[in-house]
Every structure is written in structure tokens, then in C-alpha cells.
Amino acid sequence: MDYAKVWFVFWAVLWTGYFALDGFDLGVGFSGWLAASGDAERRDVFASIGPFWDGNEVWLVTAGGATFAAFPPVYAGLFSWLYPALLLILFSLIARGAALEFRGKVQSASWRAFWERTAAVSSFLAALLFGVAFGNLFRGLEIGAGGYQGTFLGLLNPYSLLTGLLFCAFFFFHGQLWLSFKAPAPVAARAAGLALKGWYALIVLLLVFVAASRLGTGLLGNFMARRALLALPLLLFAALAAAKTLLARGLPGKAFWASFAAIVFFSLTGFAGLYPNMLASRLDPAFSLNVYNSASSPYTLRLMAAVVVVFLPVVIGYQAWVYRLFRTPFSSEELKKSGMY
């Protein structure tokens, strides 16, 4: 068995799980206030993601750890060449976590307003910067014999910014769908309307992204060589169409899971186009870091694969239990009693 390829799949699955799960609470974080009117409804918005957001971030930690263990040169390249960008993402996630935890700790309107703004700004920046980061991975970096030869501002190129906006559009739609069935009725109704409007913006950005990827990246090469992979983007568009149809029929919960599937297929489409590269070079393919020249030893990969096979189902089972336990929204009485949010 080629464990380097297996670990590329694990790597892709872990990032996909993170985007599909943390995507909705990032979306709620930066756009939930649009569906809320007044302090009580904003509390309902924050309460809808309260039991879930920190568990969702486990996928991010695991994806980072998997990169370090399975592909050390890729991890080293990311954290030496792109350190300022990754540090901004880290600060955004720290600020987002602090905002979600501290908002309800003091009964002061100005205190709550400060943390609500912090949550909105930090969640938006995290979503945007993750998109910018993966936009640069899809586009390729200026990697030469001496390492990364680009600049921090060079990472903010039109293609990566487009990808960042696309991530924000996905998470906006995903987050509003979450609120449309997890928040109380007034918030849920407004969120459903916002999700429907966001769907059109998402489709436009996605089509522009596809066109830009065809012109400015090598993502389509694998799809032309292996036509079976075309099922992934087709399923992506089918999932988005299903999400809109289900939402229009008054089935927001099912629409949310269709959106979940759309993010999964979008992420897997990107990784399928990227393979075998992980950090592709725009200067010379010989300098790219890929699954063949970046993987750990076969023994290390085999041992870690055994660990993943044992513990990944445990993590998935735990999260499934949490989602089932909190499948109904908190009532106002429960929120007042808990003193949270």
C-alpha cells in the first residue's frame, strides 16, 4: 500500500471536515447579526453555535498535526514561508474564541457589543484568510531553489482574494442555513431569507472561480486525465441546487445538510485538482512539494494510519453525539438559567 497517497487522502479529509463543520459557525460569527434584532435575538444567535464551535476546531488542530507528522517539509514550508499569513489566521481564531466565550460574562450592553463586533470581524477574517491561503495553494507559490521567493503582499493576488470571497460566501450561506433551523422563529425566518439571497452570490462567485481556475491554475489537469473525477464538481453543483430547492420548500434542516455536502464536494474537488502537489511551485515544477518528496518514512505513515483508523471513528462518534444531544435550540429560560451568551 502506498501510505503517502493514503495520507494525502487523510489530509484532504481532515481539511474538508474542518471547512464543513467550522464553516457554519464562522458564517454565523460574521453574519448572524444580520438575522437578529435586539440583544435577546443576538444571544440566540450565539447560543446556536455555543456547544459546537470548539469541537469543530478539533478538525483544524488534527489537520495541522497530520501535516506536521505525515508531510514535515510541507509543514516547515508553510510555517516559514507563509508565517505572517498563518499568524493572522491564528490571531483571528483566538479573537473569535475569546469573543464567543466572553460575550455573556458581563451584563453590560457595551461589553456585549464589543465582543459581538470582535466575533464578526475575527470570523470574517478567518474565513477570508483560509480562502486566500488555499487560493494560493491552488494557484501555486513562487518556490525556487532557495525556497519561497514571493512576498506577503504577493499572496493577496486577485485569484487568492477571489477564493477568499468564495469561502466567505460558502460560509455565509452555510451559517444562515444553520440559523434557519437552529434559532428561534423570528431569527430563523430572517436567516432563511438571507440564505436564499446568499445562494445567488455564491453561485456567481463559484462560476467566476471555475473560470479563473481554468485560466490561471493547473487544477483542471487531473480532471481531464481522469474523467471519473468530474463527478466531484457535478455533485457540488447538484448539492447547491438541492440546498436552494429544499430551502424554498421550507425544509431548512435538509437544506443545511445539502450545503454541508456542497462544501465537502468543493473541498474534495480542490484537493483532487491539487494532487499530487501540496505546495506547488509556479516557477518550476521541480521545486514543488508533493506526496512523493515530502512524506515521512513508510513506517511512520503506517503507524499513524493505524492510529487514525482507531481514533477517527471515536472523534466522529463523539461529535455526532454532541450534535444529537443539542439538536433542538436552547429555550429563553434555559439561557437565562445558564447565564451564558
Amino acid symbol at 316: I
Q: Specify the amino acid at residue 56.
A: N
Q: What is the pTM of this model?
A: 0.93
Residue 165: predicted pLDDT: 98
For residue 170, the tally of other CB atoms under 10 A from its CB is 28
- Dihedral angle sign, alpha carbons of residues 107, 112, 114, 118: positive
* Cell numbers linked to 122: 475575527
Cβ contact 278:294 at 8 Å:
yes
9 is written with which cell numbers?
487522502
Residue recorded with cell 487514525: 308
Contact (Cβ atoms closer than 8 angstroms) between residue 220 and residue 213 = yes
What are the per-10-residue average pLDDT scores of the chain (341 residues)? 90 95 94 91 88 88 91 91 88 94 86 94 96 94 88 91 98 96 90 96 97 92 92 97 96 96 97 94 92 92 88 85 77 55 56
Four-CA torsion 324, 266, 274, 224, nearest 10 degrees: 130
Cis peptide before 276 (omega within 30 of 0): yes
Q: Report phi then psi at 38, rounded to 5.
A: 95, 165
Residue 106 per-residue DSSP state? S
